[in-house]
């Protein structure tokens, strides 16, 4: 009696769970809903023929196949890695729907294969062998090439459209609408037109930032004011980013720039590749440029907000004499102290530290600046010594300037000689030696041109004459401001002329840049107390440049010390 043998079924024909990934690149095609339903229908038909079950649909409209960070695509990969997996096969209409980048395709397929999931194309069926893998790699490479060529032609068309002064279809800046300008065949060329209601808000934002519409406000305060007044940014509340984007957008001056940023990498392209488009202006250019200057001066990287808004007079410039850490405010039962932040954060092992009365230190700093820096005689010595040294340095720079000009002339001559050899037929245009030599000379010319501009900027051309009247007016203005101006104004002047206040229980040492003293004196009055100090030679006694050095060193040490003991006995130490 023969045993009965159960029929066997090949694993390849067992029904499997299938997920379909459907994608279209153009946003317009996605909006028209032309391709995705067809891809889904083909996937269902394929599953029916193969006797598989369609369990999941991943639909991604308006996404480029070269972008591996597509949200739905990444969600599909996440689902594939989960255990137990929810599908066994990922089906696409063609491999180009899966990815149009060689690297992205390889990495995503590797992820799926490690999870035991295969990728199959409906219109490009391939055998699972070496030949099929080779054909698949060729198809993927061809898709990547085609995508790049399409992108290249699209970019070329958009650049030409911008050169002709037309808008390229992106959402217009706040304050503008897009209107049809003319029709060319099936396409409507578009331009920007001012939106009257939004343009009024744009002008108000610039006015609030410059202070021409009342009290001058910062970006955050403008956001608060506009939202409180019921204004909206195209139906949404204003945010700091939207206000900053408006204040920095050059389009409002009537000049819009296209092809500024690489959409893939985010890198800013060279200025010569930008394409200008004339649009209706909403604000004058000088207003926009004034705003850019003030934005640069107020930038957090240049002047952190805590240094500007803090009520503490020496915020950002007071440091501990023992460890060099910043001095911060500490309060308690009506007392206000400058204390070492290093000690407060890391304990007494970090620094012995000190706590000194804030009102007394602030007053001593103001008195010392008033009597020992901005006193007319002292100010004259400091500024005159700095200008004498600057004059000597300028003479040395003039000799360097002449050498740079000579080198630049020689480099230009070498470039002209090479071009002459090409014109005479002595060298070929595609000669590698010519290209290498020309690139070296151009790089050298660029470097020399930059050095020439920098050296020329340092020359004191038409420098104003320093007079006693200017020094006296500067002295009177600053001394009056230090004693009678509002706290924020006094703080602004101190931060303009002082970059460090080293504080201990016995002494305070102030240092600051001589260049700002000289600039303020030559300009008759400081341009603005909001200037940010840069590092230059300090106006502490240095012996070689300070005419008061010997006289100050002759003063006894005791008279230059602050009284030891309690903070209330502090006495000024003229180390300025």
Q: Tell me: pLDDT of 421 over 60.
A: yes
Task: Give the pLDDT score at 543.
Answer: 45
Local confidence band at 550 (pLDDT 50, 70, 90 cut-offs) = very low
- For 277, residues 6+ apart whose C-beta sits below 8 A from its C-beta are 162, 165, 166, 167, 255, 256, 257, 258
Instruction: Count each helix (H run) and each strand (E run) in the chain, helices first.
Output: 20, 14
- Do the Cβ atoms of 507 and 575 come closer than 8 Å? yes
Task: Give the pLDDT score at 245.
Answer: 92
What is the average pLDDT across 392-412?
74
Task: Give the pLDDT score at 528.
Answer: 41
The string of DSSP letters for 90-154 reads: EEESSHHHH-SSHHHHHHHHHHHHHTT-EEEESSS---SSHHHHHHHHHHHHHHHHHHHHHHHHH
- Do the Cβ atoms of 229 and 212 come closer than 8 Å? no
Chain CA centroid to CA 377, Å: 44
Task: Give the pLDDT score at 503.
Answer: 85
Answer whether the bond into residue 84 is a cis peptide, omega within 30°: yes
Task: Give the pLDDT score at 47.
Answer: 92
Token output for 284: 């004058």
Q: Tell me: pLDDT of 254 over 80.
A: yes
Token output for 514: 């001589």
Q: Which of 65-69, 373-377, 531-535 has the lowest mean pLDDT?
A: 531-535
Tokens 């808004």 correspond to what residue? 309
| Cα-only R_g, the chain | 36
Task: Give the pLDDT score at 281.
Answer: 93
Q: What are phi and psi of 479, to 5 degrees?
A: -65, -40
What is the average pLDDT across 491-505?
81
Strands (E), 173-217: 176-184, 187-194
The string of DSSP letters for 280-339 reads: --SS-HHHHHHHHHHHHHH-TTTS-HHHHH-S-TTTTTEEETTT-PBEEEEEETTEEEEE
Handedness of CA 412, 417, 418, 423 (dihedral sign): positive
Q: What Cα–Cα distance (Å) separates residue 512 from each residue in 115, 500, 568? A: 65, 7, 26
Burial label, 482 (beta-carbon count in 10 A; 0-12, 13-18, 19+): buried
What is the average pLDDT across 367-371?
83
- Do the Cβ atoms of 245 and 233 come closer than 8 Å? no
Cα dihedral 376/378/382/388 (nearest 10): 70
Task: Give the pLDDT score at 306.
Answer: 52
CATH of domain 13-150: 3.40.50.1390
Q: What are phi and psi of 548, to 5 degrees?
A: -95, 5
- Do the Cβ atoms of 444 and 438 come closer than 8 Å? no
Please state the pTM of the whole predicted model: 0.46
Query: Closest by alpha carbon to 19, among 115, 137, 106, 144?
Result: 115
Q: E strand or H helix at 317, and its extent?
A: none
Highest mean pLDDT (candidates 116-130, 322-336, 465-479, 546-560): 116-130
Query: Closest by alpha carbon to 386, among 545, 222, 241?
Result: 545
What is the average pLDDT across 487-507?
80
For the chain, the domains span 13-150, 176-298, 301-390+466-576, 391-457
Angle of helix 432-457 relative to helix 376-423, nearest 10 degrees, comes to 160
Query: Is 475 in a helix, a strand, or coil?
Result: helix
Q: Quick count: other Cβ atoms within 10 Å of Cβ 540?
A: 15
Local confidence band at 6 (pLDDT 50, 70, 90 cut-offs) = very low
Q: What are phi and psi of 369, to 5 degrees?
A: -60, -40
Q: Which of 188-197, 303-312, 426-435 has the lowest mean pLDDT?
A: 303-312
First-to-last C-alpha distance (Å) of the chain? 118
Q: Tell me: pLDDT of 64 over 90.
A: no
d(CA 218, CA 402): 46
Token output for 300: 């957090």
Q: Which of 294-298, 462-466, 470-474, 524-528 has the lowest mean pLDDT?
A: 524-528
Task: Give the pLDDT score at 558.
Answer: 30
Token output for 319: 């440091």
Q: What topology is assigned to 176-298 in CATH? A: Hect, E3 ligase catalytic domain fold (3.90.1750)
What mean pLDDT, rounded, does the chain reach?
76
Local confidence band at 388 (pLDDT 50, 70, 90 cut-offs) = low
């Amino acid at each position: 009696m023969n045993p009965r043998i159960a029929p066997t079924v090949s694993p390849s024909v067992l029904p499997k769970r299938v997920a379909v990934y459907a994608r279209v690149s153009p946003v317009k095609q996605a909006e028209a809903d032309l391709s995705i339903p067809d891809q889904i229908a083909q996937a269902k038909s394929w599953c029916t023929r193969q006797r598989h079950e369609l369990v999941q649909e991943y639909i991604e409209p308006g996404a480029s196949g070269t972008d591996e960070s597509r949200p739905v695509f990444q969600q599909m990969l996440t689902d594939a890695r989960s255990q137990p997996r929810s599908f066994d096969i990922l089906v696409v209409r063609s491999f180009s729907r899966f990815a149009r980048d060689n690297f992205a395709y390889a990495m995503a397929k590797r992820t799926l294969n490690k999870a035991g999931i295969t990728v199959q194309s409906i219109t490009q069926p391939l055998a699972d062998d070496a030949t099929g893998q080779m054909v698949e790699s060729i198809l993927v490479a061809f898709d990547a090439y085609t995508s790049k060529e399409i992108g290249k032609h699209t970019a070329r068309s958009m650049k030409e459209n911008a050169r002709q002064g037309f808008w390229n279809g992106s959402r217009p800046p706040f304050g503008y609408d897009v209107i049809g300008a003319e029709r060319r065949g099936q396409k409507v060329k578009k331009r920007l037109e001012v939106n009257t209601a939004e343009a009024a808000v744009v002008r108000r934002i610039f006015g609030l930032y410059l202070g021409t519409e009342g009290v001058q406000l910062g970006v955050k305060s403008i956001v608060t004011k506009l939202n409180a007044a019921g204004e909206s940014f195209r139906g949404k509340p204003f945010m700091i980013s939207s206000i900053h984007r408006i204040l920095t957008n050059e389009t409002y001056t009537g000049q819009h720039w296209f092809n500024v940023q690489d959409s893939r990498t985010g890198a800013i392209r060279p200025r010569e590749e930008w394409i200008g488009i004339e649009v209706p202006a909403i604000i004058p250019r000088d207003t926009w440029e004034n705003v850019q200057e003030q934005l640069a001066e107020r930038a957090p990287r240049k002047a952190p907000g805590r240094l500007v808004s803090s009520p503490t007079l020496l915020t950002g410039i007071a440091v501990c004499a023992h460890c060099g850490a910043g001095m911060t405010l500490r309060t308690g039962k009506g007392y206000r102290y400058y204390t070492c932040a290093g000690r407060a954060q890391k304990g007494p092992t970090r620094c012995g530290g000190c706590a000194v009365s804030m009102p007394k230190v602030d007053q001593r700093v103001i008195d010392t600046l008033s009597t020992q820096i901005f006193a007319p005689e002292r100010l004259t010595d400091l500024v005159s010594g700095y200008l004498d040294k600057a004059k000597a340095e300028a003479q040395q720079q003039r000799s360097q300037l002449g050498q740079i000009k000579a080198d630049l002339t020689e480099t230009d001559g070498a470039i002209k000689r090479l071009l002459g050899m090409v014109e005479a037929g002595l060298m070929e245009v595609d000669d590698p030696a010519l290209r290498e030599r020309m690139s070296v000379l151009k790089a050298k010319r660029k470097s020399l041109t930059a050095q020439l501009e920098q050296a020329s900027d340092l020359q004191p051309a038409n420098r104003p004459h320093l007079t006693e009247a200017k020094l006296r007016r500067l002295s009177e203005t600053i001394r009056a401001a230090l004693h009678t101006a509002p706290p924020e104004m006094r703080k602004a002047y101190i931060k303009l002329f002082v970059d460090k206040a080293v504080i201990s229980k016995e002494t305070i040492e102030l240092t600051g840049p001589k260049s700002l003293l000289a600039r303020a004196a030559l300009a008759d009055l400081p341009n603005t107390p909001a200037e940010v100090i840069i590092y230059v030679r300090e106006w502490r006694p240095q012996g070689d440049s300070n005419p008061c050095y010997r006289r100050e060193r002759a003063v006894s040490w005791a008279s230059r010390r602050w009284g030891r003991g309690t903070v209330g006995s502090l006495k000024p130490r003229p180390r300025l």
